[in-house]
A and B are shown apart, each in its own frame.
Chain A
């Protein structure tokens, strides 16, 4: 394995790729630090840039964007109480009060160090877990894949959004959109209404960019007044005694584990991890009442877990081909664009790319920490660029991104369509992430179901009698049952209180 990793480094350690990682990390940090722009958007906009590159170089750029995008959110979270990305929501709870007390520099130190270490440990774990998991997954047939996809799909429904029904609806909509075009196996065109452009179905890129970037632009466009962000930072001191760092070690390790664990689960990523890690840190603390008033522990919990979720989310992507969150869904699109099939065979067929990705992640993680310490002032200045200038430019870049996939205008129309769909869904309080996961996992579900049935000559029983498939289906039933029971008892409690 070490040999492969060294080989991965040798593929990445050249001037062009290093510059790409550096540029990606900087751009990611910018997107992460400006509220309204996300890591997902950054990856979406940069995907067309990677078309002409070598897969390792292209993926290196995207890794820089991913790490930077998740980390940049800590700047406005601490300075302005505005989470730059959903991954930094919990950072505002204690980071902002710390800044108010004049400890912005200290908050940054804790945030940057824990981001770096959280990311580092999760990437190490990814390097250790993903290859054997991929090896194990090689044994999976259609029955096992069907069960895993079912399990992943129910996780979306059970874990995202306030309303279970709306989460499920979004997932179903995603599967429905994925059904437009030729059916798997027999290629019969479905829901195309006679439009030949729809025969190939909707491309993943316009769907993702539309849902997550264009809908955001529309949501800002309807706002009446736009906020102006200004922050005057005089002198920041990053100095923190080593003893203080050390006192957060258990909090750090716990948050790291939470981040990785949640990252691995499909459908949820740093956005959920930071909130859960914060709650766990507060519960475990000897002085839980101090949380929220500006203690470093809150910042450590949030920032460790969101960066740890990066490595976690990449584990199922690299080893199974199942994305853990929206950014990894986008990365999956990136791999497919380069003609690589994410999943167990990726290690066998393109080991150099996989280990190149691992090496790029480690380098990007280091760049992120250094850039944040060195360039903090510059990033803070960027916060003051008004949204009315940024958002139109981003739409133009979205158009380039959507067009560049297949060089056809149809994808640009799809982009606007999904932008409006995403906007309407936000208005109806329907979560967007389940739609994306449904869109990606739906075809996998159908293909494996039908492949399995072909294998068994139309017999459904292997889906429940094959041991690995059965275990996943049992876990699925238990987790869904638990969620339904919980939401039922919650609604009962509310009506009782009323």
Chain B
């Protein structure tokens, strides 16, 4: 089975669940008398939820069809297994990146934009460059410089009040 077909199964299943939850939630919406001509607040969400259910079923059926077509083609399968393996090795970098971004966002109000940004930039440059340690001095200089410049320009030139945290 191809990885894309697998993903289509996951997509359709996930969106089916989302559609059901959304549909059930619409029953808790209340319309006010007087503004409710023909349809109320629950009408559109219910229609959209129903359509999401319908499209997820269509994607599921399409995925089933493409699976039954491909089962005989072993060459294709082998290729896709290789593709899947090389892909899976990279997910580590992705997960670390997302965690770094999340920590950055959580720390920004506490440490302030300047410090949090400098720390994040160094970390993220290391992550994306596959931990090119020989470049750490370069990353350090660029990160601190960029954090200072962005913080100064947005606060003092464009008047965007970035969080100052412990410095404020």
Contact = CB atoms under 8 A, between A and B. Distances in A.
A68 B24 CA distance: 47
Contacts of A214: 101
Contacts of B69: 498
B41 A409 contact: no
A457 B37 contact: yes
A226 interface: yes
B45 A400 contact: no
A222 B93 contact: yes
B146 A188 contact: no
Given A49-B158, A396-B121, A449-B44, A460 B62 contact: no
B39 A449 contact: yes
Contact of A392 (B51, B86, B124): B124
A397 interface: yes
By secondary structure, the A interface counts as: helix
A338 interface: no
A392 B150 contact: no
B31 interface: yes
B37 A450 contact: yes
A165 B128 contact: no
A400 B154 contact: yes
Interface stretch (A257-265, A274-282, A340-348, A382-390): A382-390
B38 A403 contact: no
B71 interface: no
Given A186-B35, A412-B108, A454-B35, A395 B101 contact: yes
Interface residues of A, number: 69
A420 B97 CA distance: 11
Interface in A458-490: 458-460
A167 B162 CA distance: 37
A52 interface: yes
Contacts, number: 178
Contacts of A392: 120-121, 124-125, 128, 143
Nearest to B104: A399
B127 A221 contact: yes
A185 B128 contact: no
* Chain B residues touching A, range: 35 or more
B142 A396 contact: no
A236 to B, nearest CB: 30
A453 B38 contact: yes
B48 interface: yes
A416 B102 contact: yes
A458 B37 contact: yes
B154 A48 contact: yes
A299 B98 CA distance: 39
Interface string A149-189: 00000000000000101101100110110010001011010
A250 interface: no
Nearest to B153: A49
Interface in A395-422: 395-397, 399-400, 403-404, 407, 409, 412-413, 416, 419-420
B48 A175 contact: yes
Given A51-B158, A403-B162, A429-B4, A386 B129 contact: yes
B94 interface: yes
A49 B150 CA distance: 11
B129 A226 contact: yes
8 contacts: A52-B159, A163-B59, A165-B62, A169-B52, A185-B35, A190-B25, A222-B93, A412-B108
Interface of B: 4, 7-8, 10-11, 15, 22, 25, 29-32, 35-41, 44-45, 48-49, 51-52, 55-56, 58-59, 62, 69, 86-87, 89-91, 93-94, 97-98, 101-102, 104-105, 108-109, 113, 117, 120-121, 124-125, 127-130, 132, 139, 142-143, 146-147, 150, 154, 158-163
Pick the 7 closest A-B CB pairs, nearest first: A392-B124, A458-B38, A388-B129, A222-B94, A388-B128, A453-B38, A221-B97
Given A166-B11, A220-B128, A442-B48, 7 more contacts: A163-B62, A190-B29, A400-B154, A409-B105, A416-B105, A450-B37, A453-B39
